[in-house]
Amino acid sequence: MDIRSKLNVTLTTLLAAALAACSPADKSHDGEGTATVVKSGEVNLYSSRHYDTDLALYNDFTEQTGIKVNRIEASSDSLIERIKSEGEFSPADLLITVDAGVFWRAENAGVLSSTDSDVLNARIPESLRHPDGLWYGISKRARVIIFNKGKGKPEGLESYEDLAKPAFKGRVCMRSSGNIYNISLLSSMVAHDGLDAAKAWAQGVVNNFQRKPQSNDSGQIEAVAAGICDISMVNTYYLARYARSDEAQNQEIFNNIGIIFPNQNDRGTHVNISGAGVTTHAPNRENAIKFLEYLTSESAQGYFANGNNEYPVITDSITSSAVETLGTFKEDTLNVSQLGQNQADAVRIYDAVGWQ
């Protein structure tokens, strides 16, 4: 079987799982082995996002541009490994995933290529994109402290650092240290406070645990609302889901939760991203950039804000989403690429202090 036949078989197998079946862009090779792209009016997404609202977003892009959107969904690590193993024959044009720490893994795997776009650079704040254009934030979320409103706001709790105070011993619930949200938060603290201070903080929080780390962000919200523990940390879009729910039980849970946007008197509240990056061997590179630029348009940002309760990355954008009702806040402007750079240190710290 020649190279073209093998390639066609590979691409057919890979994209059979896509909701919209397609014939991927073909690649021919000259005598030097250089790939030549034949444009085909489509873009192939490898995405770890699994939100229904994204389907409407894809349809909107096709209606605006005529470019067909094909997608494969899996976990972020699976997609990174898949793109890496497919090499130059990969049909993937864009990797879409959650958390800057995950993009660090993709960067180290060599599956992303630099993109220079005046549109993206103008619309997306510098802190929310890779310095070399390997990926761009397309939406954001804040990691906030929550407390049981019925018991009152814990005195002296204003910052992430305050969570380690002995006054809160036996009052704190948390997710596991292996969760990427917690890894990225500690990575930001390494950047701001240094390794020693970050380790002392992690040890202090462990000392304050009410129970062993468990569950997800929704589990933390429900535990705090029920009074199982007094304090926890969650991402804002989880809270907004409860706030906009039509179910009385979820409304009651939300009404029992108080929210603190940490570090408003200094660096600001930690934020992280969902993002996208053009792959190294993208067969439809121009379409991939068009799609990436579309994701920062007002209509696309509206889907993120109103459909999935995320903050838009473009300024003066959407103001009607449920997440906006949680309150305004000053956000940390640390470039989120550093969340990946400090990831290994954060994991070592968590292991050293026994944060399971």
Could you tell me the domains of the chain? 3-140+272-323 (3.40.190.10), 142-269+329-353 (3.40.190.10)
Please indicate if the annotation marks 181 as binding a ligand. no
Side chain identity at 354, as an amino acid letter? G
Residue 316 is predicted with a pLDDT of 62
Helices of type H across the chain: 3-15, 53-65, 76-86, 100-109, 118-123, 180-193, 195-207, 217-225, 236-243, 248-255, 285-294, 298-302, 308, 337-341, 343-353
List, as one string, the DSSP characters of 19-53: SS---PPPEEE-TT--EEE---SEEEEEE----TH
Name the token pair of 158.
């204003």
Please indicate if the annotation marks 136 as binding a ligand. no
Residue with tokens 């490898």: 46
Side chain identity at 35, as an amino acid letter? A
Residue 346: phi and psi, rounded to 5, are -65, -45
Residue 242 is predicted with a pLDDT of 96
Residue with tokens 């800057």: 100
d(CA 68, CA 62): 6
| Residue 71, CA atoms < 13 Å, CB-side half-sphere | 18
| Residue 282, CA atoms < 13 Å, CB-side half-sphere | 26
Residue ranges, the chain, pLDDT below 70:
1-40, 315-320
d(CA 349, CA 177): 10
Output the CA torsion sign for 49, 50, 51, 55. positive
Contact between residue 207 and residue 172 where contact means Cβ atoms under 8 Å apart: no
Contact between residue 277 and residue 94 where contact means Cβ atoms under 8 Å apart: yes
Nearest to 14 by CA among 85, 76, 72: 72
Largest CA distance in the chain: 73
d(CA 212, CA 94): 38
Residue 129 is predicted with a pLDDT of 97
Please indicate if the annotation marks 237 as binding a ligand. yes
Residue 21 is predicted with a pLDDT of 38
CA distances from 281 to 15, 104, 137, 138, 294 (A): 16, 18, 21, 22, 21
Residue 239 is predicted with a pLDDT of 96
Neighbours of 253 (CB within 10 A): 20
Residue 235 is predicted with a pLDDT of 97
Nearest to 257 by CA among 235, 239, 238, 237: 239
Neighbours of 4 (CB within 10 A): 12
